[in-house]
A and B are shown apart, each in its own frame.
Chain A
Amino acid sequence: MSPPEADLRGGPPPGEAESAQVRGLAPHFADLQQQHEAATLGMWVFLATELMFFGGLFTAYVFYRQQYPDEFAAASRKLNLTFGGINTIVLLTSSFTMALAVHAAQLGRRGRLTVLLGLTAILGAAFLVIKAFEYHGDYLDDLVPGLAFEESAWEKPAGVKLFLLLYYLMTGVHGLHLIAGIALLTVLAAFAGQGRFTPEHHAPVEVGGLYWHFVDVIWLFLLPLLYMVGVR
């Protein structure tokens, strides 16, 4: 086992006393840059697990779409593509503001960072509001198996019900992730307002950004898979 100093950049870890002098540096890291890289890498690993988490639902979707292609197409056509399209633009805009927020953090622009984080969270909330209206519309259209659904209206209701189940599961789980992201960004915005982030120490902002962009990417795939199975 080689001595610890031999394979560390910049020398041995600063230890408790020295790290206390560098704001935000945990003692087991050599410097803020290493800490930053560790934080982002950790988030990427978590996102890889989240990909598998959603992957299970996507696999179920692939399976049952193969089994009931016509029913999936027919049910997909009944979904509100207008709301789906608007929500896509809302989330893409929120990713844009999030990217700008990270940029502001990198430059130490505190006011701009706070505003952009808040704006991103608000756009996320707007997505949820639109989604709520959309779910309500789905309910009025008899598209909620078990609650509001007309079996006789479909030739093969089993396939339709499977599609709708996957639709509510996938958008619902996505929505839960979005709620967590909004809560995270609200906390980050509050911290930013308090001046807790500097150009040297803003990893939480970058890491929060990675999570937010991931939630956006998931939605980018939900849109064609759920709303555009068949021609409209």
Chain B
Amino acid sequence: MTQAIEVPRTYFIVFVGLIGLTAATLALSHFDLGALHTSAGLGIAAGKALLVILFFMHALRSSRMTWVVILSGLFWLALLIGLTLTDLFSRDWPT
């Protein structure tokens, strides 16, 4: 049966990495990085998400069909947020 088989050791290494990145996020929240603050937080979150998706969800060893679905979902999300931002930034909003 051809399935995505990772050894438990891989899962453990990924888990340790995830905990490490979480510690990094929490530590980072106390430092003023200015404009980079949000990007750093989101960047670390994306890194953690990537680890979970590739290894825990077996995406790394999945079929191309699965990849099409994953990338399509992310593409639509990018459109949703991106096009909303074009609206947001091109108008004069009163606050």
Contact = CB atoms under 8 A, between A and B. Distances in A.
Contacts of A66: 88
A162 B56 CA distance: 34
Contacts of B72: 48
Interface string B16-50: 00110010011011111100011001101100110
Contacts, number: 135
A128 interface: no
Given A48-B69, A96-B11, A99-B56, A223 B81 contact: no
Interface string B36-72: 0110011011001100110111100011011001101
B69 A62 contact: no
Q: What secondary structure prevails in chain B residues at the interface with A?
A: helix
A220 B41 contact: no
Q: What secondary structure prevails in chain A residues at the interface with B?
A: helix
Interface in A173-216: 199-200, 206, 209-210, 213-214, 216
Interface residues of B, number: 53
A52 B80 CA distance: 8
A220 B45 contact: yes
A41 B69 contact: yes
Given A92-B22, A199-B1, A100 B11 contact: yes
Contacts of B3: 36, 106
Nearest to B39: A224
B44 A40 contact: no
B57 to A, nearest CB: 5
B90 interface: no
B59 to A, nearest CB: 9
A103 interface: yes
A92 B65 contact: no
A103 B1 contact: no
A67 interface: yes
Contacts of B57: 209-210, 213-214
Nearest to A32: B1
**5 pairs of A and B residues whose beta carbons are closest in the complex:** A224-B41, A48-B73, A96-B15, A228-B29, A231-B32
Interface of A: 32-33, 36-37, 40-41, 44-45, 47-48, 51-52, 55-56, 58-59, 62-63, 66-68, 81, 85, 88-89, 92-93, 95-96, 98-100, 103, 106, 199-200, 206, 209-210, 213-214, 216-217, 220-221, 223-225, 227-232
Interface of B: 1-3, 5-6, 8, 11-12, 14-15, 18-19, 22, 25-26, 28-33, 37-38, 41-42, 44-45, 48-49, 52-53, 55-58, 62-63, 65-66, 69-70, 72-74, 76-77, 80-81, 84-85, 88, 93, 95
22 contacts: A32-B1, A33-B1, A36-B1, A40-B66, A44-B69, A48-B72, A51-B74, A81-B29, A88-B22, A93-B15, A95-B18, A96-B56, A99-B6, A99-B56, A200-B1, A209-B56, A214-B57, A216-B52, A217-B49, A221-B45, A224-B25, A229-B38
